[in-house]
Structure 1
Amino acid sequence: MTEAYDEPVEPELARLAELHGVATSYSPAPGRSVPVPASAVVAALAALDVDAAGPDAVRTALAARERALRERLLPPTVVHWAGDPQGPAALAALPPGTRLRVRTEEGEERDVDGTWNLPLGVHRVTAVAPDGRTGHAHLVVAPDRLPAPPGRSHGLLVQLYSLLSRRSWGMGDLGDLAELAGWAGRTAGAGFVQVNPLHAAVPGAPTDPSPYRPSSRRFPDPVHLRIEDIPEYAYVADRERLSGLLERAERLRTAVLDKGALIDRDAVWELKREALEPVLAVPLGPGRRAAYDDFRAAHGQALDDHATWYALAETHGSDWHTWPEGLRDPRSAATARARAELADRVEFHARLAWLTDGQLRAAQRAAREAGMPVGIVHDLAVGVHPVGADAWAQQDVFAAGTSVGAPPDAFNARGQDWGLPPWRPDRLAGSGYTAYRDLLRALFRYAGALRIDHVMGLFRLWWVPQGSPPTQGTYVRYDADAMLAILALEATRAGAVVIGEDLGTVEPGVRETLQRRGVLGTSVLWFERDWEGDGRPLPPDRWRADCLATATTHDLPPTAARLTGDHVDLRDRLGLLTRPAAEERAEAVADAAEWLALLGSLGLLDLTAAGPPGSDEEEEIRAVHRFLLRTPARLIGVWLPDGVGDRRPQNLPGTWDQYPNWRLPIADREGRPVPLEELTAAPRLRALLAVFTQLRDG
């Protein structure tokens, strides 16, 4: 790992950085600290509107920051965890005799009498000190813990686009999701179905296929609509036009399912967009119109901005940085004129958001009606695309000139740059976390649970200056107490569970804090070893209970590939190995054999007649899941492709055009695509899910 950096961070710059939550070093491993370059610190401060370009600027900014902190009565946002009799520390530190008055979300005025008996919500608190100074802050009153899963359950993990039925239009849709949930709940006793992020994508040619680089996280992508399920579809007068579109949809579907073509999201969206034009031309009935009006009122300016961005993108392209200058500002007079001129297209895209929201909620209803205690688990990506709708509409809360990534570590000496602009912690706090609250509230409308990708981002994110390699970045800290409080508040209001993706390097104390607040972690079989001891596979009784336990994820090889070593062969073919192939294969075989030996010792797998790993892959995969069932994990996830022996990962990190990431349908062990109708009837999948009979019946 390289540790050659530019100039060191001088003491005054280090103090300034500390006061703004910008790190001057990081720890890639316990007991080891690595300094970050001064240029990264200066760039991060600049993104926070702090000028640190030179010693004089640093001294001026430091004096201003210290004076502001010394003179203020309250920070911008204060957190009170319900049930804590002491009240917020920031308020307890006020001068004796300071009077506190709270205006609640409902508009009620209250004096704080020391009991802290306040309703949940984001309120406004005013402090008046004896010397006449006055301070205002947002006061977040949150439940002490997030909702826990209702009992122990198992569920399915699937990338929705990969789940094609014989009714879909070339990729899995929300109708397919509802069907899968209904089947899994009633037939397999599953408690949930977890899907990839369904956020709105950036349109383009081609569109970025990754669901983790969306245009907007607040609004869903209409490419997932089941067109025939839209009520107005039945009233389109031009049936011949619809018939032609259905024929084209069949060709797209059969190309993937029967001819081995990759999923073509752009072709699917072009076809659906053509179909939606006449469908949305059908007038809404009175009840539907009222529901749509309520949706527009509930989302207000955010929905108008979202729909306006998509309307403008149709004319000017999807990168708003290249639009005419006046249109780059969502609040400009030029944008207001364009919004009026494009009113029909703005209405079109607003309606699409409403229709997609409706089908998402219908999928959750189908899951709950099928007996699922959790239902659909949605995935929140860590950020948004810099050229997309959210980055345009919320420029005030995004840090300009920087992107999110990861520092160098044992697995990637170059670090990572994900190309996603980070939220500014100061602007979030100053607004009472409005953008974050609105995002969570929108997702919880249709989620039984929410998986948060890279949940460590609630605490800190690695900011990479534009034009610099990821090695030249630094961490910027967020108010984790406030981020968790808002999360707890919105999850409790929705009655939803939250799962944090906490894989990889996690700073000390983070997992403990998440667990204390009720955020479940993520535990993947192959990573669960006694890293502080002998490094052997971790026995089931030593796994944590507050987690979603799985055998694999979308970024990892399917279990069959892991057991047979096919994942090494794939990486070898693509030139991705960093060591000789024979060495990698030997390590993979040894790793699988070690796990299988543990399964055998626990009586979960008969090893008396066993050959090398993968000799009886179906039984071995079932044994893996028997092991997961033996752990105390509250939730157990089954990667759906494991139910038919798929060898291919949905995403292979480190590749772009070398591998068809995010474009593969679920397939069997020979690579033949398996439609939903065959998948749910597959004996192999049914036998795998039968492992959980005792959990279901218990």
Structure 2
Amino acid sequence: MPETTRHEDLWRLAAAYDVVPRYQGHDGDEHEASDETVVRVLAALGVDASSPERVELALAHVENMPWRRVLPPVVVLREGAAVQVPVHVTHGDPVDVWLELDAEAGGGRREVTQVDVVVEPRTVDGRLVGRATFELPTDLPLGWHEIRADGPSAHAHSPVVVTPHRLELPERLREGGVWGLMPQLYSVRSRRSWGVGDLADLAELGWLAAHRWKADFLLVNPLHAAEPVEPLTPSPYLPTTRRFVNPLYVRVEDVPETAYLSAADRALVEWAAEPVLGLAAEPGPIDRDVAWAAKRAALEVVHAHPLAPARQAAFDAYVEEEGEGLREFALWCALVERHGPPAGWSDELHDPLSDAVAAAAVELADRVAFWSWLQWVADEQLEHAQRVARDSGMALGIMHDLAVGVHPEGADAWALRDVLATGASVGAPPDMYNQQGQDWSQPPWHPDALARAAYRPYRDMLRTVLRHAGAIRIDHVIGLFRLWWVPVGNGAKDGAYVRYDHEALVGILALEAHRAGAVVIGEDLGTVEPWVRDYLDDRGILGTSVLWFEQEHDGRPRPPESYRHRALATVTTHDLPPTAGYLAGEHVALRDRLGLLTEPVATVRAHAAAERERMLDALRERGLLGHDPSEREIVEALHRWVRATPAVLLGVSLADAVGERRAQNQPGTDQEYPNWKVPLADGTGRPVLLDDLFTHARAQSLADAMGS
């Protein structure tokens, strides 16, 4: 076979599986993946393209795949849309098709009409298969319905998900200008914290921010669960699961059973707390391992105290509601506790359906109950924090952050392995801030497998995160459209994009947010195709605007009035140094020290200095800044610039409020920098505790600027 033909067939196969070998980079140039990379990405999708013969077989298989199914695995549509559903049966056989409506939408049966669409039958696996076409009613209510087909060669059912055409904003947000704080919760410690900011601190921060500063939301880092035992992965963006909460954030003293402990048990809790209560005043990196070891020991004591009948009933109801997902997560925690990290497990334990895992579930039932109880306790405290924030007058309260993916050896990678691709990881191609590309080590959703699972794992995860949320920020929202897959063994630059059914993923997100009454914000920074932003806006998903990235074609700052209305506008983001550090060029110096630059440091430093001066000139032209300003005055002027935009939501990093200079995270690093371990501190590195935050002169001044 000629080389050109082999290449074209490979790319045709790639297109059939939504692999996109060619893309436009941040530099505006077209980039193309090698054939070897395409073969490896297809292999991660379970498609053998290792030879021309295998490519030919795979092409024939993918073309026949829809004809092997009576019904599509799932149908996702917008409310009011006219959608036709293909039904495949043995050619000439009759079939009866109807809908059963979601119980939350009132239940009942709806007939489905067959329409006259002529499609030639096809021979598949030695059987002549015909296609009948049915049209769904256009007045279906929102919800998760089910289409059913019955006949001599058809006994099938599939979900039909009707999603909102558009999410509408709450009335208080429609005029814009609503502002809130963006804290990294682990870093916001009080004198009562056990070395790490917790959910009680979150509730207090919400109450104080609402009453003292008239803030309307708290955008927190992802609160997803980490490992059950030490060492814990510091990054909140690399969790073991996105569905459940990290019990590290539980305030032990706020668990109701703590009040009823015996004197001896209370002493055990106090002894556990003693080594860590003083850590909040320490300026050094946050030690999650020490904090969690202390909390876990104390929570074991509390858990041993019996629940009152009403509390037991509430716990039982929680376990029943969370179902198999909670059971699998708690079992995974118990297995890690018993056998150590999954890398050292036997092959049988890696299979959630194996006899060994079933036996372990019986043997470790008490530990499964403990880890389930921890989730219930965390859920209660999170619910309390959101209730306090809303009752204090916040328009949204807690705005959760949804990470892109999960740890490759975490609970989701174990329990959801059928819908995750293990032969590749998610990352990003090179851009101006990460010129070597990024590999985030997270297994991506397998597009076809997720559809075959009717998107239920995705839905269940969203429901749990949204349960106590006024809003949700979707990190790297472009991942609902396409993800940069880096095959195992390849460098971060040597990947390819894989497309997803964005109509399904965004639609289900909109449906679950609608049901929860939550606003959705998509982090749409970086290389994003322009139509994506238009699509998200049409669905009612807000965008993200970061001042340093908002530039005209000539590099000048974009005027405030030109910002998007339907967006969360901020000066900085957690992947940049706080504004004081950015103004000092810390982002350049840090990347130079860590060897992350691909251009001479002098060139990058000059570019950063020019960018900063253009911004300062723009501030002066608007009368927001004098000619010899202090650092604090510049930071406040930048926030006044954002305040002047028409953006619906305005975010202020809590680190900016106190003058912190150190970055929380440096993309492209792991152990080289204390990522996600930096406590909230002022410009000198002195910790700022929650107890002192609302009397902090610099923080109060910035809050005044945002409220003016």
TM-score, normalising length: structure 2 = 0.90
CA contact (8 A) 2:194 2:291 kept: yes
Query: For residues 597-676 of structure 1, what are the structure 2 equivalents within 5 Å?
Result: 597-605=617-625, 607=626, 610-611=627-628, 615-676=629-690
CA shift in 2, pair 1:9/1:31, >3 Å: farther
Q: Deviations over 1:564-608 (max 9, x none)?
A: 334444444555555555544443332222112212222222x2x
Partner of 2:165: 144
Partner of 1:345: 367
3-state SS of the aligned residue for 2:80? Answer: coil
| 1:427 partnered with 2:449 | yes
Partner of 2:83: 88
CA contact (8 A) 1:263 1:663 kept: yes
Partner of 1:3: none
Tell me the amino acid that sits aligned with residue 356 of structure 2.
Answer: A
Aligned-pair RMSD on alpha carbons?
Answer: 2.6
Tell me the amino acid that sits aligned with residue 173 of structure 1.
Answer: D
Partner of 2:345: 323
CA shift in 2, pair 1:34/1:244, >3 Å: same
CA shift in 2, pair 1:132/1:235, >3 Å: closer
Instruction: Could you tell me which runs of 5 or more consecutive residues in structure 2 were left unpaired when the two chains were aligned.
Output: 114-135
Distance 1:527 1:443 in 2: 29
Partner of 1:587: 607
Distance 1:244 1:79 in 2: 53
Distance 1:124 1:638 in 2: 44
CA contact (8 A) 2:77 2:504 kept: no
CA contact (8 A) 1:147 1:496 kept: no
| 1:254 partnered with 2:278 | yes
CA shift in 2, pair 1:571/1:71, >3 Å: closer
CA shift in 2, pair 1:401/1:586, >3 Å: closer
CA contact (8 A) 2:70 2:87 kept: no
Q: Deviations over 1:36-65 (max 9, x none)?
A: 222332233233332222111211121122
CA contact (8 A) 2:265 2:301 kept: no
Partner of 1:486: 508
Of residues 573, 578, 587 in structure 2, which corresponds to 1:553? 573
Q: How far is 1:163 from its partner? A: 0.2
Partner of 1:454: 476
3-state SS of the aligned residue for 1:404? Answer: strand
| 1:682 partnered with 2:677 | no
- Identical positions, percent: 50
Q: Deviations over 1:279-323 (max 9, x none)?
A: 00111111111111111011111111111001110111122x431
| 1:275 partnered with 2:295 | no
Of residues 543, 548, 566 in structure 2, which corresponds to 1:521? 543
Of residues 256, 260, 265 in structure 2, which corresponds to 1:231? 256
CA shift in 2, pair 1:45/1:299, >3 Å: same
Tell me the amino acid that sits aligned with residue 88 of structure 1.
Answer: V
Question: 481-490 vs 391-400, which deviates more?
Answer: 391-400
Tell me the amino acid that sits aligned with residue 596 of structure 1.
Answer: L
Tell me the amino acid that sits aligned with residue 298 of structure 1.
Answer: E
Question: 21-30 vs 191-200, which deviates more?
Answer: 21-30
CA shift in 2, pair 1:64/1:135, >3 Å: farther
Q: Deviations over 1:144-163 (max 9, x none)?
A: 11242542310000100100
Q: How far is 1:329 from its partner? A: 1.2
Distance 1:490 1:630 in 2: 32
Q: How far is 1:125 from its partner? A: 2.0
3-state SS of the aligned residue for 2:660? Answer: coil
Distance 1:90 1:9 in 2: 35
Q: Deviations over 1:2-50 (max 9, x none)?
A: xxxx999622222222112122322225864322222332233233332
Instruction: Could you tell me which runs of 5 or more consecutive residues in structure 1 were left unpaired when the two chains were aligned.
Output: 1-5
Of residues 308, 314, 333 in structure 1, which corresponds to 2:331? 308
When the two structures are aligned, how many residues end up with a matched partner? 674
Partner of 1:166: 191
Distance 2:565 2:80 in 1: 25
CA contact (8 A) 1:79 1:88 kept: no
CA shift in 2, pair 1:362/1:73, >3 Å: same
TM-score, normalising length: structure 1 = 0.91
Q: How far is 1:416 from its partner? A: 1.8
Q: How far is 1:467 from its partner? A: 1.6
Q: How far is 1:122 from its partner? A: 1.8
Partner of 2:102: 105
Q: How far is 1:348 from its partner? A: 0.5
Q: Deviations over 1:161-185 (max 9, x none)?
A: 1000011000100000000000011
Partner of 1:399: 421
Distance 1:243 1:226 in 2: 17
3-state SS of the aligned residue for 1:432? Answer: coil
Tell me the amino acid that sits aligned with residue 585 of structure 2.
Answer: G
Q: How far is 1:118 from its partner? A: 1.1
Q: How far is 1:371 from its partner? A: 0.4
3-state SS of the aligned residue for 2:348? Answer: helix
Distance 2:28 2:666 in 1: 32
3-state SS of the aligned residue for 1:642? Answer: helix
Question: 631-640 vs 402-411, which deviates more?
Answer: 402-411
3-state SS of the aligned residue for 1:509? Answer: helix
CA contact (8 A) 2:268 2:298 kept: no
Tell me the amino acid that sits aligned with residue 67 of structure 1.
Answer: N
Tell me the amino acid that sits aligned with residue 102 of structure 1.
Answer: L
Distance 1:7 1:154 in 2: 56
Of residues 290, 295, 307 in structure 2, which corresponds to 1:284? 307
Partner of 1:120: 142
Partner of 1:297: 320
Q: How far is 1:133 from its partner? A: 7.3
CA contact (8 A) 1:201 1:221 kept: yes
Q: Deviations over 1:629-671 (max 9, x none)?
A: 1111000000011111111111122333332111111111111
CA shift in 2, pair 1:483/1:93, >3 Å: farther
Distance 1:213 1:527 in 2: 25
3-state SS of the aligned residue for 2:493? Answer: helix
Tell me the amino acid that sits aligned with residue 421 of structure 2.
Answer: A
3-state SS of the aligned residue for 2:19? Answer: coil
Q: How far is 1:561 from its partner? A: 1.6
3-state SS of the aligned residue for 1:327? Answer: coil
CA shift in 2, pair 1:15/1:283, >3 Å: same
CA shift in 2, pair 1:76/1:600, >3 Å: same
CA contact (8 A) 2:230 2:293 kept: no
Of residues 12, 16, 22 in structure 2, which corresponds to 1:15? 12
3-state SS of the aligned residue for 1:595? Answer: helix
